Amino acid sequence: MTTDQETRQRVPLVSYLELDPPRLVANQCTECGARYFDRRNACASCGAETFDRVDVDTTGTVRTFSIVAFSIPGVEVPFVAAIIDCGGTSVRGVLTGVTPDPEHVKLGMKVKLVTVSQGIDDDGVEAVGYAFAPVDEEN
pLDDT of residue 1: 43
* Dihedral angle computed from the Cα positions of residues 9, 12, 15 and 20, in that order, rounded to the nearest 10 degrees: -80
Spans of the chain below 70 pLDDT = 1-6, 137-139
Residue 106 DSSP SS3: coil
Nearest-angstrom CA–CA distance, 118 and 127 = 5
pLDDT of residue 62: 98
pLDDT of residue 138: 56
pLDDT of residue 5: 55
Nearest-angstrom CA–CA distance, 49 and 97 = 39
pLDDT of residue 4: 54
DSSP state letter for 33:
-
DSSP state letter for 58:
S
pLDDT of residue 14: 96
pLDDT of residue 7: 74
End-to-end CA distance of the chain: 33
Nearest-angstrom CA–CA distance, 72 and 101 = 20
